[in-house]
Amino acid sequence: MKVAYFSPMPPERTGVADYSALLLPALGRKLDLEVARRGRRRASRAADVALYHVGNNPDSHGWIVDALRHSPARRPRVVVLHDFVLHHLVAGVTVGRRDGHGYLDAMEREHGVVGRLLAHGVLDKRIPPLWESRPEEFPLAGFVLQHATGLIVHSRTVRALALSAGFEGPIWVVPHPAWPVPAVDPELVATGPTIGCFGVVNSSKRIPELLRAFAGLRERHPAATLLLVGPTSPGFDLDRRLQRLGLADDGLVRESWVDEQRLWALMAGVDVCVNLRHPTMGETSGSVIRSLSLGKPLVVSDVGWFSELPGDVAVKVPVDGREVETLEAALELLLAREDVRSTMGTAAAALARREHDLDRVADLYAGALEQAVGGRAVGDAVVREVSEAAADVGISPKAAEAGEIARRLAEVELG
């Protein structure tokens, strides 16, 4: 089966480019792949199905959405939805291309007259851009979903969101694949217990809450260190926050962008990994996947995909009025209890092997694509045979029994 594959690819520095670089070799052993060059709008005529990786970044994914919108209707189109909230992407391919009407239409289509009025407010600069201020309230995923015949998502959360957005095609939940753990020596940044947080440093990663919790923890564990690895978002004043909490000179180790090898080494050297999030755009976290592979105990926010992690690998912190206290207590527990860290780490590594194994993920992709191509004919054949058998014994389509049969078919996703 031939698959036209649309994705950002290295050397682009995006999570989705890294993802595809990891997935492609394994998927290529199962399917005949044709990777589209950046900017290409049409898939090869020979392709049986086209696969589009879509995330929220318009620079990386704008051309992919263009290709999706121009794809011929006869070919199945499967979208890998890396984020559910696509407002930034939609703004980029409309407002960013001087297509204000496109943005107005997208907002009206998904959020009615109120949406259109708000969009006018944005275009007239009367209100701040919604993709920066309130994207999660206006995800605009329908802009992409309307062109897809099937979806691949990484979490049950996004599956539920897509269903509630009215998507009626098949949705396959395929876990994020795990990278093979490279042979690295753990890099220890401190002699005492170390908490690591890897990723962009900003408010939506709950860095302010993490810093406050850590400052509280340091009062009882003065030898503890917080390692923050990742670039700081523009406008996020980390230094001022550190000074205010008394962490500017002690207790915090800061690394900005680091290469892959060093990332693994630093992560391998910490005792606990923290990965918080709010609001969530429906995304998964490559950093969490790496940490699972390394068998590190995790502390995450109890939101979105992170909530779906099993309780034996991650302590989940609700995003509520007591978030900082809960976070501090979780870190306290993990620093104090080596046995808990060890048990959680073992479970984390087992989860990475079982659920996120690269070959397994590639096989789930192949399964989704094979069903995208042949599944409809199969579903129709099953429904036809069941319907005929029901009709043979006098069950009319409107009978209660027919409703029961339809429910059972839907339950096992056969109808």
Partner 1 sequence: MRVAVVRPQVPFARGGAEIFTDRLVDELRARGHEADLVSIPFKWYPGTRVLTQAFMWRLLDLEEADGKPIDLVVATKFPSYLVRHRNKRVWLVHQFRQAYELDRTELGQFGDSPEDRAVRRKIQDLDRLALGEAKRLFSTSRNVADRLERSTGLASEVLPHPPQELAYRCEGYGDFVLSVNRLDRAKRIDLLLEAAALDPALEVVVVGDGPDRPRLEALARDRGLNGRARFAGRVGDEELAELYGRCLAVFYAPVDEDFGMVPFEAFLSEKPVLTTTDAGGPLEIVTDGRTGLVVAPEAREVANATGWLRAHRDEAATFGRAGREIAAEVTWERALGKLLA
List of residues 6+ apart from 115 with CB closer than 8 A: 107, 108, 109, 138
Residues touching partner 1, count (CB under 8 A):
27
Which residues are paired to 316 by β-bridges?
A: 300
Tokens of 360: 């397994």
Measured from the Cβ of residue 323, the count of other Cβ atoms closer than 10 Å reads 20
Q: How far is the CB of 379 from partner 1 (least distance, A)?
A: 8
Near partner 1 by CB under 8 A, which window of 159-167, 243-251, 334-342, 381-389? 381-389
Q: Per-residue x/- marks for partner 1, 357-376, CB under 8 A?
A: ---x------xx-xx-xxx-
Q: Is 127 in the site for partner 1 (CB under 8 A)?
A: no
Q: How far is the CB of 158 from partner 1 (least distance, A)?
A: 18
Report the interhelical angle of 286-293 vs 15-28 (nearest 10°): 60
Q: Which is nearer to partner 1, 232 or 343 (CB)?
A: 343
State the Cα–Cα distance between residues 311 and 329, nearest whole angstrom.
16
- Binding test (CB under 8 A) with partner 1, winner from 188, 190, 386, 402: 386
Q: Which is nearer to partner 1, 24 or 386 (CB)?
A: 386
Rg (CA), the chain: 24
- Binding test (CB under 8 A) with partner 1, winner from 1, 35, 258, 340: 1
Place of tokens 């180790």: 253
Q: How far is the CB of 385 from partner 1 (least distance, A)?
A: 5
Place of tokens 């056969």: 414
- Binding test (CB under 8 A) with partner 1, winner from 123, 333, 382, 402: 382
Q: Is 408 in the site for partner 1 (CB under 8 A)?
A: yes
8 A C-beta contact, residue 80 and residue 50: no
Q: Which of residues 32-91 bind partner 1 (CB under 8 A)?
A: 48
Q: Is 4 in the site for partner 1 (CB under 8 A)?
A: no
Tell me how many degrees the CA angle 67-70-73 measures, rounded to the nearest 5.
Answer: 120
Q: Is 409 in the site for partner 1 (CB under 8 A)?
A: yes
| Structure letter (DSSP) for residue 185 | -
Q: Is 392 in the site for partner 1 (CB under 8 A)?
A: no
